[in-house]
Amino acid sequence: MAQTSILFVDDEEVIRTSFTRELQAEHFAVTAAADGSEAVAALRAVQFDLVITDLMMPGLDGFGVLKAAKELSPQTSVIILTGYGDMRAAIDALRLGADDFTLKPCEMEELLFRIGRCLEKRSLLQQLAAQNRQLAEEIARREQTEALLVESENRFRLALDGSSNGVWDRNLVTGEVYFGENWHRTLGYEDPSEISTSQSFENLLHPADRERVLALREAHARGETPRYEAEYRMRNKGGEWQWILSRGQAVARDAEGRALRIIGTHTDITRLKEAEAGLKEARARLEERVRDRTAELYESNVALKVLLQKREEDKATLAEQVLANTARLIEPFLVRLQQSRLTEQQQVLVDILRANINELTSPFASNFSTKLTRLTPAEIQVANLVKLGKRTKEIAGIMNLSPGTISIHRKNIRKKLELTHQKTNLQTMLSINS
């Protein structure tokens, strides 16, 4: 008997090497692939009985391997290896045709159990395919065709019951419903007679899900959807709610397109939903922390802006005060000293004193001088006359303007030079910074 061929795909070398060795010890013919691209190349070269692939890998991931396996060899079974945090992706893989999945880290006994079920299912499906081929060849003989159809249906149920899914078969004409053994066991029932009618199924549905689920099933029965698929909660034998993924398809319709019979499976996805809820809660907590931190940073920035603005205002006030005090308290005495009779040595000392004072006030004065560029030509002329000691009426006569207009020019000059304090003498400030 030929060995079962397995393609094992995982980007973690330790896991890949360990499981390859242990599977070979179980008399499987194992080919190892380090990534998705290497796996696809192997699938193109060899037809495998089973593919075991990690879901999350760099480059081509497990979804790509699953797609390639089903395209190149639809009969090849696929088992998905996934971490607890990626269980949402695992259910997506089931929807795309994966036969089963198991969580990492996985014990060898668990993996062998999953492999055994997949191979059994594959064998039964192969037998079913063979029977269907025989049915097609003998379609002309009605009695034989009907007998083979019944046998094929029984094998189909066995194949599904042998998988991790529970099978159901609903006859919409008679109202009869068949539930496979795994369907009952998923909900904790060992005796199928405890829930054997369609009414029982509807009563087990969560009240919040019942209307939606029945509407989806009815829409498929009317032919409005290509298949039936729904996620819902069902009460188990212990009275707790379990999340179920149910998928089905009509296998017979009447002349008007109304479904006569629907066959499908259901899978327990409670752990996936719990993981999903945990991730959602963690994401909400993170978003709340981000909002709180953002608010803190905003408040800090506002406080910093206020502080910097106050500092700039204080600097401007200090500059005006320094310049004004220099002009009022020092400059008159320096002028008087220079106008008096000084010895050569005294004159040198006065010059040094003036130079030092200019050095101390130069940062403020240069700042002030920059502001002079904001003045209009008329304002510059008025400023020069003020600097020469001319009064408003004198300036008005010289410039042939009204005293009121000159007063407006003086106010504009003070505003543009940022002379906020009314006691600051305009002539003095212009003289110092000329």
Neighbouring CB atoms inside 10 A of 233's CB total: 20
Closest CA to 201 of 266, 258, 274, 273: 266
According to the model, what pLDDT value does residue 279 have?
Answer: 84
Ranges in the chain, pLDDT < 70: 1, 84-85, 140, 142-165, 192, 195-199, 314-329, 331-332, 335, 338, 348, 352, 354-356, 358-373, 420-423, 432-434
pLDDT (tens digit per residue) in 292-308: 888 887 887 887 788 77
Run of H or E residues at 51:
strand 50-54
- Spatial neighbors of 418 by CB under 8 A, at least 6 apart, are 316, 320, 371
According to the model, what pLDDT value does residue 92 have?
Answer: 86
According to the model, what pLDDT value does residue 222 have?
Answer: 93
Alpha-carbon distance 199 to 175, whole Å? Answer: 10
pTM of the model: 0.36
Domain boundaries of the chain, sorted by first residue: 1-162, 165-268, 301-432
According to the model, what pLDDT value does residue 161 have?
Answer: 47
Decide: 217 and 211 in contact? Cβ < 8 Å: no
DSSP 8-state code for residue 54: E
Q: Evaluate whether the domain defined by 165-268 bears CATH number 1.10.530.10.
A: no
According to the model, what pLDDT value does residue 321 have?
Answer: 65
According to the model, what pLDDT value does residue 159 have?
Answer: 47
Closest CA to 434 of 344, 356, 361, 372: 372
According to the model, what pLDDT value does residue 381 have?
Answer: 84
According to the model, what pLDDT value does residue 268 have?
Answer: 87
Q: What is the distance, to the nearest Å, from the Cα of residue 45 to the centroid of all Cα atoms in its chain? A: 38
Q: Evaluate whether the domain defined by 301-432 bears CATH number 1.10.10.10.
A: yes
259-268 sheet: strands from edge to edge: 177-179, 166-171, 259-268, 241-253, 228-235
According to the model, what pLDDT value does residue 204 have?
Answer: 87
Helices 331-339 and 344-371, axial angle in degrees (round to 10): 140
According to the model, what pLDDT value does residue 23 have?
Answer: 92
Fold adopted by 1-162: Rossmann fold (3.40.50)
